[in-house]
Structure 1
């Protein structure tokens, strides 16, 4: 019996197959494959998603960390753009799976880790997302705190910064209750607003300073290529790791794409373009503050304190909007889905959002952003070393091992072909461990330091290659004949009557 229909490169369940999964304990409304009607995100939706996520204070201040480490402004911006062009590759490759089969990240992970083993990459991604959730809440809370201090006697309230942080944290959790579709709508109108506000800030800085400022003419502090590359490679890993998180769970959004073309165009333009532009705005504005105020002010919240109350109010709204659009899209969906996947019948997306918020407090975001070297080298580099191997396994499984052929119904069965041995695919676990250990050697063996400095890249390549080798004879793979036996292949019909005609030609037993 045919269980799935492929039309224009998008696969959906047949009505009978969908009905047969209703009682599966591995499925709920959020984890099921999307229907054809739900594939409605356009290139603009994906562009606005990335604009909303990229325009945030961590992006604004990212270049500052690289300049503080010795780079000049253009070396920092080029490093950031290069890192995002590199991470764009796994983003597009993993989005393809979500778009074609309409599955969220935890279900995608069942394919390569097993029905139970999928919790390993899902929870790993969730922990990192919770940390980012806390960091963005901390920045947003600081902006609110600055607004209140400048307009009232708020600074005399004990613990005022933490009160503002918890208030903004609560706002994020409440908004997250509304789910992924509300994120699409919010990003659609927020993206142009954020771009306009960012450009307005840049124009003010250039005008008030009578130019870009001294920072853009300051030379690099490195005396040799060796000194530069000692900083460049770990910094590049840090910039890659910035969105290595979304490179994993991008199927959570890709599953709604109207077509592969829509997701490729929207993401290819918006991700590297927005990261490069907003990082440059951060550098240029900060450079101008040296001329205007006699000191470099990297923190937008601190910069706002120099403006009149109305401008502070508008700026605070912008920072809150930037932090909110980043948080609900980038840092809630993945951990909420991971929580759902642990107990699909009991935990909803809303419940997962609350769990994410609570976990973010445990991660102590005020500590993570307290020291720039700790932020870039320890936090970003550390989780890059963890997520790189998982990215490698995901890409290798879908593109090299299975060659983009899946049995959708089997992903929701605890005894199906993707359950492996007791729910765990040992091959993926072996590949993950090796992909983490080898770069980790660079921390302890001086001559191998380059492995750790490029941990995300080496981890991805090592784990991907090992996984592909170990899975070469795995029985879970579908042959072309097996895929054809369960899939109705349809060309795009032009009218409703054409749809009926195609179904008749296929035969009722195949539909």
Structure 2
């Protein structure tokens, strides 16, 4: 069945009847246009492998290790991380649906609710956060390269003169790893898919090998699991649990928005849903358990929690083991970084300047901004990593997720008009290309979520009584507050103030 502009297939997927209808649109290019059906070929395994590649990485490892370093025992850290990933799976799957049904990336999906121009607001917000993540991952990968070369070259490399607080060889390693990733992203989305398919299993082996090595040194699993929590199960634990849970959810808050960038290539809803259910909670729980056991073991073996796996790998005396372990760490970092932190902002930046930027050039821009953000400062301490970086941006992006879920599922009932997402003056043009209701809802949700941002004395950039003191209690629940406030406020504003002109008269069936 077809309308004048879009075709509905029996499996529920929709495509433009004539792609040439967007040829003269200033808001379309080859990367942003809806994916044609023959190109939607990702299977359940592709999505599971994608999540394995994205979840089995050093920052994921640092999540669990950071909780142990903050005083949780293995069970408390495992519960916190597993619960967080089960919660974030809900908005992730809800927003993924549009990508598979219509073949559109996240910034185009956002146009339905923010406006064709207004979608640049959430897209660029998400893009700059991804740039921060790209920088963090690249810094970690560069450290691994620095250690590997140091094992082979000796003290002349590791004890090189310092620049900016680090040996100049660290900066060289950082730059080299940056270039490697830029080459991979230049190969495009299909090159990424092939890389993920073979890299993901190797990463799993590397983390398991590190855990086994620590188990041998610690005398088995028993002594590790017997370690008591420094926090107990009373008020000290619950004080840390809530903001830690929000941080765990926020870790994938970026992907909960832009997963349509990947699900647009899906063979069907079943493939992407099952691929993600298999891929995200299971692999994150696995890496959390490995990280918890390994980090807890370092307390027994070395007397303190070593939360950085690169630093931990350096403690082993055999240079072959160190080199192999860190090569795996580099693969893990690259696998996650290119998929999670370059693909999506590339679409986002291209959405802002579709005539000037394509997928590849926008990827280069992402890499440059990732350096400017100075990622080495963001992972200097576990409390800053979890409570400042993750909790703050999680609250911002949750309000965007609330708007998208309210608009797509509750207001539009999953019915979108593809051509109108790219053409001025149509259904999603609103007022000069902007829907003020979505912007206000996002700002309101963000204000409630992070307006009370606070830091413990000496542990972050925020005042101890919060940026806005009376909102301080909400900051411990930043992601949940942002999601609820964004969703409810957008729903209320849309119901009380009609949003669209009646110019689009053709109807679409619901699937």
Q: TM-score, structure 2 length as denominator?
A: 0.91
Name the CA shift for 1:441/1:131 in 2 (closer, same or farther; >3 Å). Answer: closer
Gapped regions of structure 1 (runs ≥ 5)? 491-511
How far apart are residue 224 of structure 1 and its match? Answer: 5.5
Change (3 A) 1:192 1:156: same
Aligned: 1:77 with 2:78: yes
Pair 1:276 & 2:285 matched: yes
Q: Distance in 1 between matches of 2:179 and 2:317?
A: 27
Note if 1:425 corresponds to 2:428: no
SS in 2 for 1:189: helix
Shift of 1:41: 0.6
Once residues 99 and 331 of structure 2 are traced to their aligned partners in structure 1, the CA distance between those partners, rounded to angstroms, is: 27
- Check if 1:356 corresponds to 2:366: yes
CA distance 1:287–1:213, shift in 2 (3 Å) = farther
Structure 1 residue 460 corresponds to structure 2 residue 483? yes
Tell me how far apart the structure 1 counterparts of residues 304 and 479 of structure 2 sit (CA, whole Å).
Answer: 36
- Superposed, 1:173-322 pairs within 5 Å as 173-212=182-221, 214-223=223-232, 225-293=234-302, 295-305=304-314, 306-322=316-332
Distance 2:60 2:283 in 1: 9
**Partner in structure 1 of residue 17 of structure 2:** 14
Q: How does 1:498-509 map to 2 (within 5 A)?
A: none
Structure 2 CA distance for partners of 1:316 and 1:70, relative to 1, 3 Å:
closer
Structure 2 equivalent of residue 37 of structure 1: 38
Q: CA deviation at 1:430?
A: 1.1
Partner residue, 1:157? 160
Contact 1:79 1:232 in 2 (8 A): yes
Offset of residue 197 of structure 1: 2.4
SS in 2 for 1:5: strand
Report Cα offsets for 1:77-119 as digits up to 9, x if no partner.
1101111111111110000010001001111111111111111
In the aligned structure 2, how far is the partner of 1:375 from the partner of 1:199? Answer: 24
Matched, 1:389 2:406: no
Across the aligned residues of Structure 1 and Structure 2, the Cα RMSD in angstroms comes to 2.1
For 2:221, what is the secondary structure of its paired residue? coil
Question: What is the rounded CA distance, in whole Å, between the counterparts of 2:222 and 2:308 in structure 1?
Answer: 17
Structure 1 position 176, deviation (Å): 1.2
Unaligned runs of at least 5 residues, structure 2: 162-167, 453-465
Q: How many correspondences in the alignment?
A: 485
TM-superposed CA distance for 1:344, in Å, is 1.1
Find the aligned partners of 2:305 and 2:22 in 1 and give their Cα distance: 59
Q: Which residue is equivalent to 1:130?
A: 131
Measured in 1, the distance between the counterparts of 2:499 and 2:65 equals 50
C-alpha displacement of 1:39 = 1.3
Give the drift of 1:390.
0.3
The answer to whether the 8 A contact 2:398-2:479 is kept is: yes
Query: Quick check: 1:368 aligned with 2:378?
Result: yes
Q: Which residue of 1 aligns with 2:455?
A: none
Structure 1 residue 291, shift from structure 2 partner: 4.4
